[in-house]
Every structure is written in C-alpha cells, then in structure tokens.
C-alpha cells in the first residue's frame, strides 16, 4: 500500500472528512489520495487560517482536525495557527512537506528544520518514513486526543509519496524511524501522553510560593491528600466553584447543574467555559477576566474555599486572582500548580462530583453572586447614548436566533462579548489560551462547514479582520453563509486602553481613517456600513433572510471600552 493511501485510509477511519491548507508540489499525491478516500481538501488564503479551521472543526465535531502546509514559509505560517490548538486544547494533526533525507541540514531553498519549528508548539513532532508510518499515524491520532488534547506535527519528506508503506508492527510497538519527542510549554510530553486511567485518583499538593520558578508540585500519598480534600470540603461554609475550559470540553455542564440542584454554591466561569451552565442559573455569578469582572472580587473575598473545576490556568493563572484561602483543583491530568498548599485531584470529570458530594452551600453566598451578576448586567444596560460596542452586541444578541454559532475574535470587544453574550442553544467559540487576532473569520468558516444549517455569526474588530481578510474569498468560493460584523473603530483599541493604563499617549495603534472598506463589496461579498442602531437592525435582519454572506461594518464609538475592560 502506498504511504499516501495508507494515511488517507487511517484518517478516514478516524472520522476525518476535511483537511485545510495550501498545497505545494509534494502535496499533490496526498491530496489525490485523500480525495479518493472521501476527505475533502479546503484551500485557504493563508496557512494560519487552515490551522484555525482544523482546530475549530475538532471542537465542533469531536473528530481530529487536519491541516497541511508546504516547506519553509508555508510551515511557518501554519505554525502560528497550530499554537492555538495547543493552548486552546484541540486535537489536530499538522502535516508539512519536508526535504528528503539527503538534503537535511543542507542549504536549500525553503529548507528549515520543521521539527525544531513545531517542537515547542505541539505535543510531539515526527518525521515519516516507510518503516514508521503505521506507528506514527496511530500514535499521532492517539496522542492528539489524550488529555489535554492538542496538536501533533508529522513531516512528510518530499520523496516519500509513492513509497510502499511497511505496515508490520515493530517488536517493541514504539515509533521507529526518525522521530523527535519534545516537551511542550504545557509540560506535556509525547512519551507519557497523559493517560487518564493511569492518572485516576492521583493527588498532588503544590509546593513552593507562586513566585518561585522551581516550586513544581510535590507528590504525596494520594490517600492522605484525598482525606485532606474531604476535610476541606466538609468544613467549608462559603465555597465557590470556578469552572474552566476542561470542564466545558469534558461536557461536565449537565453534571454540574445536577450537583447545583442539591448544593447552593456560587459558580464563576472562565471565558472559554461560558455556557457550561446557563447564564440565568441562580448560582451563576459571572465570567472571570472579562469586562467588569472586578465586581466578582466581592464574592471571591468572602469565600473560604476555592474549587477549581476543570480550571485550565492557560486562560488566567490562579495567582492573578486567588485570595489567601485553600484551593482545591480538580483536573483530568496533573498540571503545574505552584500555589503553596493547593490540593490537586486528578480524575475523569464525572468523578469530581463524587468527591464534592459532602460540600455545603451558602444561601448568603449565592445571594451575593446573584446580586453581582445583576450589577454587571445593569452596568451594561446603563450604557451611554451613542453607537457603542455594547449597543451593537446587545442588538445582535436580541436578533440572532439562540441556536446561532458565534465566533469571536480577539480585541476589546471580546472582553464585552465574553461577559455579555448569554449562550443558550448555540455555541460561542473563541481563543483565550492562544489569543491570536484574526481567529474569528477562519473559525466561522470551519463552523459553517461543520454545522447543520444554523446561522453563523462572526464578530471581529477591524484589526483582526484585516489579518485574515483573504478568507472572504474562501467564504465566497465555498458558497457559505456567514454574517460577519466588523466592529470598526479605526484602531487597535485594546492596545490603546493598555497604553492609557501606563499614561502613554496613543501610538502605533491606528488601523484606518474613515471607512474601512470604502466600497459596498469586498472580494465579491456585500458590505453594509452602519452607524446607528436602526441601520444595524435593518442590516442584520436582511442578512438573516438571505442565503449569501454579508459583511456589516459597524462604526462604533470605542470610548466605553476604557471603563469596562479590567486590568489583568
């Protein structure tokens, strides 16, 4: 069996139906093999977009995402998107064409060391050969999906296609041929893979002060630590739960709601866990880190136990907000906690609630949480007159169906969106681990391809839109329907806000002067420029009725951002 046919067969069997990228000459045999296997190739305008699309495809379908790039510059572009799947925790296989063995280490056009490039950005990087193809593909699929999920890079030497795959398993079962196994910034190593069964019941107590560089977790007797955790749970009178990305990804929302039905405990969520419980739940207090989250300090200061439920510090480190009270951290794999006295319980998500069963709630605390949530909502509703980002987002939330999938780009508007947008039957997709501008448009394309006909709304800023503006051609070519709202204030507002915190005059942040598009279409997609609420309502209503994509340039007054974006 030819190598390219074997890879296509294995990916197809793993559920892959699309892969994203920009081809080079050596890619052609793989594209053809994938096509014959029923895996569609989606040409993107930029390789970073391809990696974002693979990431979001994995999030929405539960199937490993696949992206591809050619030598050198293609691989470098792809890498900037692959980092997102690492820190936002999505299973992705990143394929790149590489020089043949005879050219490794030599000076040649477009020739760089792809293993060195992808090492820090992936859970593992492999270089394929006829002798290791079976082990590499199987290991890569397994490793990408192990906790925490993330990307794996596979290099395809340019002379490899057409070779016969040696499919006999090695005696050791280990990957053979040229491989590189490296430690990622998250501490995940390809040799371990984070098997949840091996880690079940593992407990650690984090040692060292939060500011120490060498204070990694010190393993202790799991039984003793479990007993200490049970004492903390039983004795707490004012606990709060902070649910994070891992809880959301593990589908722990229903179990959390069932737990809260019998336990009166306030819940705060991180941005990427928005929707893990309904925003109108009586225990829900708000979103950590995003707009007006400083209001949550009143609740946090009153607590006597912080329970991190699938809390992933990649979004917001504990050290940035946890007061001097006990911290009990539930996770699906051991993390790198360095908070003195913190107890970590590593178990599958469904078992977290067994440990928490004796927890006593507090009506006083949930009343306080409810009051804080109302205070945040009231602060948004009392917005000043004018066409502000709160006006735009509030109207979009009113008009868009509850089943809509929303992709959110990075910028000041994301801080509002994360706190303001109530997730009901739809999805809110963002990047908060990698936090790369330009995420919104390619994420929307992936959502449209993976969806079942629900409305797709992309909310981006003018700076983020320009980074991946070429993907509008991808939208048009594929005939997708996406409503893309560009919040246009002519600047990189989040940087401007941070400059103001440092008493620095705005500098190097102006994106445009006047109309961003200066026309009623962009790359063949209709553009509607709106400057008030009435025009926005009309534009969105029309866009919902029509089958084609629409870009709405909402020219906003950004002055409100400075009052609601919280310093981090």
Query: Residues near 280 by Cβ (< 8 Å), separated by ≥ 6?
Result: 422
Cα–Cα dist 73/158, whole Å: 15
Q: Which structure tokens are listed for 560? A: 């409100």
Angle between helices 222-235 and 349-356 (to 10 degrees): 60
Q: What is the DSSP letter of 479?
A: T
Asked if pLDDT for residue 15 goes beyond 60, the answer is: yes
pLDDT at 102 (0 to 100): 79
Question: Which CATH architecture does the domain made up of 3-180 adopt?
Answer: 3-Layer(aba) Sandwich (3.40)
pLDDT digits (tens, 9 = 90+) for 453-484: 999 999 999 999 999 999 999 999 999 999 99
Residue 226's pLDDT band (cuts 50, 70, 90): confident
Asked if pLDDT for residue 177 goes beyond 50, the answer is: no
Cα–Cα dist 270/276, whole Å: 10
Does residue 419 or residue 216 have the better pLDDT? 419
Residue 501's pLDDT band (cuts 50, 70, 90): confident
Cα–Cα dist 525/292, whole Å: 36
Of 65, 89, 92, 94, nearest to 78 by C-alpha is 94
Residue 71's pLDDT band (cuts 50, 70, 90): very high
Residue 510's pLDDT band (cuts 50, 70, 90): confident
Question: Which CATH architecture does the domain made up of 196-375 adopt?
Answer: 3-Layer(aba) Sandwich (3.40)
pLDDT digits (tens, 9 = 90+) for 413-434: 999 999 999 998 889 999 999 9
Question: What is 383-564's CATH number?
Answer: 3.40.50.970
Question: Which residues of the chain does CATH 3.40.50.1220 include?
Answer: 196-375
pLDDT at 205 (0 to 100): 58
pLDDT digits (tens, 9 = 90+) for 109-162: 778 899 999 999 999 999 999 999 999 999 999 999 999 999 999 999 999 999
pLDDT at 223 (0 to 100): 77
3-state secondary structure of 449: helix
Asked if pLDDT for residue 40 goes beyond 50, the answer is: yes
- Our separate counts of H helices and E strands in the chain read 21, 22
How many Cβ atoms sit within 10 Å of the Cβ of residue 173?
10
Mean pLDDT across the chain? 89
Question: Which residues of the chain does CATH 3.40.50.970 include?
Answer: 3-180, 383-564
Report the DSSP pairing between strands 179-180 and 124-127: antiparallel
């Amino acid at each position: 069996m030819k190598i390219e046919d074997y890879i296509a067969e294995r990916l197809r069997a793993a559920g892959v139906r699309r892969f994203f990228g920009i081809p080079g000459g050596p890619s052609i045999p793989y594209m053809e093999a994938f096509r014959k296997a029923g895996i569609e190739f989606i040409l993107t305008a930029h390789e970073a977009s391809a990696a974002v699309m693979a990431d979001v495809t994995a999030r929405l379908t539960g199937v490993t995402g696949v992206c591809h790039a050619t030598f050198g510059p293609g691989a470098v572009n792809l890498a900037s998107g692959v980092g997102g799947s690492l820190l936002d925790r999505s299973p992705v296989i990143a394929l790149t064409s590489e020089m043949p063995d005879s050219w490794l280490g030599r000076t040649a056009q477009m020739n760089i060391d792809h293993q060195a490039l992808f090492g820090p950005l992936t859970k593992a990087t492999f270089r394929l050969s006829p002798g290791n193809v079976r082990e590499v593909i199987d290991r890569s699929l397994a490793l990408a999906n192990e906790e925490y999920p993330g990307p794996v890079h596979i290099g395809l030497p340019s002379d490899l296609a057409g070779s016969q795959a040696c499919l006999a398993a090695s005696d050791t079962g280990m990957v053979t041929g040229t491989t590189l196994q490296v430690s990622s910034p998250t501490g995940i190593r390809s040799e371990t893979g984070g098997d949840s069964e091996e880690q079940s019941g593992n407990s650690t107590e984090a040692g060292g002060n939060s500011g120490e560089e060498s204070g990694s977790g010190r393993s202790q007797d799991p039984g003793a630590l479990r007993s200490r955790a049970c004492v903390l749970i039983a004795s707490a009178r004012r606990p709060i739960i902070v649910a994070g990305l891992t809880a959301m990804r593990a589908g722990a929302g229903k179990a959390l709601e069932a737990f809260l039905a019998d336990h009166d405990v306030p819940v705060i969520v991180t941005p990427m866990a928005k929707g893990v419980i309904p925003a109108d739940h009586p225990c829900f207090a708000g979103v950590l880190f995003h707009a007006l989250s400083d209001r949550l300090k009143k609740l946090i200061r009153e607590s006597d136990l912080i329970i991190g439920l699938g809390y992933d510090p990649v979004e917001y480190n504990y050290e940035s907000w946890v007061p001097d009270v006990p911290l009990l951290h539930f996770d699906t794999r051991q993390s790198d906690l360095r908070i003195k006295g913190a107890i970590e319980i590593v178990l599958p998500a469904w078992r977290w609630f067994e440990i928490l069963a004796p927890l006593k709630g507090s009506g006083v605390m949930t009343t306080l949480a409810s009051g804080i949530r109302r205070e945040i909502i009231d602060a948004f509703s009392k917005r000043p007159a004018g066409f502000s980002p709160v006006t735009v987002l509030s109207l979009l939330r009113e008009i868009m169906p509850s089943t809509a999938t929303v992709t959110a780009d990075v910028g000041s508007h994301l801080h509002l969106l994360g706190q303001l947008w109530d997730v009901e039957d739809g999805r809110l997709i963002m990047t908060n681990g990698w936090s790369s501008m330009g995420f919104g448009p390619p994420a929307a394309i992936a959502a449209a391809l993976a969806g079942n006909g629900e409305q797709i709304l992309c909310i981006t800023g003018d700076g983020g839109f320009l980074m991946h503006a070429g993907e509008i051609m991808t939208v048009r070519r594929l005939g997708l329907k996406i409503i893309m709202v560009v919040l246009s204030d002519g600047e990189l507002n989040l940087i401007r806000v941070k400059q103001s915190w440092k008493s620095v005059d705005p500098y190097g942040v102006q994106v445009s002067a006047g109309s961003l598009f200066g026309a009623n279409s962009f790359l063949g997609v209709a553009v509607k420029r709106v400057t008030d609420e009435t025009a926005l309502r009309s534009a969105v209503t029309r866009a919902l009725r029509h089958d084609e994509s629409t870009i709405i340039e909402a020219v906003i007054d950004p002055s409100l951002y400075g009052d609601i974006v919280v310093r981090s």
